[in-house]
């Protein structure tokens, strides 16, 4: 069985949080996989698309995503797909480097990528691929300059804008050009135009990276009245009740009254249910974009030899546990959609239950190109998982999750987690609070924290030791320190929820240390 510590170099301990060149500036030697004919690859990334917001899953019966549904029916659905850090820049860096956040060093949305960091498209170029990046980069810092690994480049600064306006520009191969239309449509236009120009005697790789569905959600004009009459159900874990917060960490209830909570969302009077409708309306544009890409493959007759992957870069909460947005290790935050199709590799209509992640995208794309996974990558290819039973394979049994506290969003503590197919263990750092353990098969909504249950003590002890072993073996058992510029978004609303209570197992009726003097 592959440990989540696989592929760790002996230098990892020395490289911890110094972010030395040894961790990233690997050479570009391409090792070929025998008897693997390179496939064309299209990787479509959406922003903040949560795992259950696809029509074919039935969670929201009114949600229509026909092209995602088609991709699932013609290919493979990975229902246990995750990001290793639920935050834009770190997650996108993990996709492009195949590395955990503690290794690639982009620990928040402001840190710039280190010079010499190897991105998996660079290996594709070395293997003879035509490559293009179209869309949101936002991988540390806010620039939009062309990056290594791509022959063609279309991007924008920071989060970009849904709609055009004065001074809103795209960077096309280093030249500033005004944005002309709704961003999801315009990015798709650029992607299709580049595909039209590719040479048929040379494999291609397209990375189409959407701004949508990042907040604030702004749908295309044609979608603004979608779902007007539907009723959005309140998540079962949203209510501020003792049942929902029984044995929950104190910080979770505290966060209700914050920038990332339902009582004071984004420090506003935002209607979270209507917000979710706008999210789904913006998602409709992404689904249509995917349909245009699939149609191009059909029209050009190259669908059978093209691997198409669709993924979200993070999840998003809409009231679960009284929270909104992401960062934490709950399912709605760290779990993402992942669909794949290539008829010459995968049979249609399959579901692969194994735990896969953003760090596996690079190795998987390289495998489809006939290239072995570079040694510095933490992820592994899931290209052959369809034919493997997870319980009989050497695939990972737990995935490491990590998030470092940010001063500008102080509501969420530094978080580490191990996520397996049945259990999730969450441990917090630098905060006076309890940890969490969930049996996801019995409790998919993560309501029943088992961390204090005597029958789970051995499991907790084992996972706690394993977490520390994984972090320490990687040189990652440290937390980076960055400059705190201000108090951050730490406001609370006066008529909102007060401070949360400590979990009852922490409370005693009388002193327990009778030897103090």
> Could you read off the pLDDT of 22-56 as tens digits, one per residue?
444 578 889 999 988 999 999 999 999 999 999 99
Query: What's the whole-number mean pLDDT along residues 208-230?
Result: 97
- Any idea what DSSP says for residue 127? T
Confidence of residue 141 (pLDDT cuts 50, 70, 90): low
Written as one string, the DSSP assignment of 253-286 is: HHHTSSTTBTTSGGGTT--HHHHHHHHHHHHHHH
pLDDT of res. 167: 96
Residue 473 DSSP SS3: helix
Domain boundaries, the chain: 40-251+262-390
For the entire predicted model, the pTM comes to 0.94
248-299: pLDDT as tens digits: 999 999 999 999 999 999 999 999 999 999 999 999 999 999 999 999 999 9
379-396: pLDDT as tens digits: 999 999 876 444 446 899
pLDDT of res. 254: 96
Q: Does residue 496 carry a pLDDT above 70?
A: yes
Written as one string, the DSSP assignment of 10-49 is: TTHHHHTTT--GGGT----PPPBPTT-PPPEEEEEEESS-
308-325: pLDDT as tens digits: 999 999 999 999 999 999
Q: How far apart are CA 413 and CA 430, in angstroms?
A: 7
pLDDT of res. 25: 57
Share of the chain above pLDDT 70, in %: 93
Mean pLDDT for the chain? 92
pLDDT of res. 19: 40
CATH topology of domain 40-251+262-390: Alkaline Phosphatase, subunit A (3.40.720)
Residue 472 DSSP SS3: helix
């Amino acid at each position: 069985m592959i440990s989540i510590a696989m592929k760790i170099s002996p230098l990892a301990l020395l490289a911890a949080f110094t972010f030395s060149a040894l961790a990233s500036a690997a050479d570009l030697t391409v090792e070929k996989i025998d008897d693997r004919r390179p496939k064309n690859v299209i990787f479509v990334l959406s922003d903040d698309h949560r795992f259950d917001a696809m029509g074919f899953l039935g969670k929201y019966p009114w949600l229509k995503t026909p092209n995602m549904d088609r991709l699932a029916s013609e290919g493979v659905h990975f229902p246990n797909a995750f990001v290793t850090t639920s935050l834009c820049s770190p997650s996108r860096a993990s996709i492009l480097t195949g590395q955990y956040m503690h290794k690639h060093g982009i620990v928040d949305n402001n840190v710039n990528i280190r010079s010499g960091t190897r991105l998996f498209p660079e290996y594709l170029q070395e293997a003879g691929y035509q490559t293009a990046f179209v869309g949101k980069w936002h991988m540390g810092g806010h620039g939009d300059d062309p990056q290594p690994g791509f022959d063609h480049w279309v991007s924008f600064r920071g989060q970009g804008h849904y709609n055009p306006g004065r001074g809103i520009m795209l960077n096309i191969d280093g030249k500033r050009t005004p944005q002309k239309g709704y961003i999801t449509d315009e990015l798709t236009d650029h992607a299709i135009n580049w595909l039209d120009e590719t040479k048929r005697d040379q494999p291609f790789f397209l990375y189409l990276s959407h701004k949508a569905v990042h907040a604030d959600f702004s749908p295309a004009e044609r979608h603004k009245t979608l779902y007007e009459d539907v009723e959005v159900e309140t998540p079962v874990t949203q209510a501020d009740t003792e049942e929902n917060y029984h044995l929950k960490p104190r910080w979770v209830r505290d966060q209700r009254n914050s920038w990332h909570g339902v009582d004071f969302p984004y420090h506003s009077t935002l209607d979270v249910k209507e917000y979710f409708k706008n999210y789904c309306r913006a998602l409709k544009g992404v689904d249509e974009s995917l349909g245009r890409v699939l149609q191009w493959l059909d029209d050009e007759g190259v669908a059978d030899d093209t691997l198409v992957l669709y993924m979200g870069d993070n999840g998003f909460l809409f009231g679960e546990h009284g929270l909104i947005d992401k960062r934490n290790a709950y399912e709605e935050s760290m779990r993402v959609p992942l669909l794949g199709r290539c008829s010459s590799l995968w049979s249609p209509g399959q579901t692969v239950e194994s735990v896969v992640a953003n760090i596996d995208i690079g190795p998987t794309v390289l495998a489809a190109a006939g290239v072995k996974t570079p040694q510095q990558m933490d992820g592994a290819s899931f290209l052959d998982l369809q034919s493997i039973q997870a319980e009989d394979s050497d695939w990972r049994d737990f995935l490491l999750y990590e998030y470092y506290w940010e001063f500008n969003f102080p509501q969420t503590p530094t978080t580490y987690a191990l996520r397996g197919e049945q259990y999730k263990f969450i441990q917090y750092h630098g905060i006076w609070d309890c940890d969490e353990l969930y049996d996801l098969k019995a409790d998919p909504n993560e309501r029943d924290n088992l961390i204090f249950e005597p029958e789970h003590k051995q499991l907790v002890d084992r996972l706690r030791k394993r977490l520390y072993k994984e972090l320490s073996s990687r040189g990652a058992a440290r937390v980076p320190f960055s400059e705190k510029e201000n108090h951050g978004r730490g406001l609370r609303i006066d008529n909102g929820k007060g401070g949360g209570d400590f979990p009852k197992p922490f409370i005693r009726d009388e002193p327990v240390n009778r030897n103090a003097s």
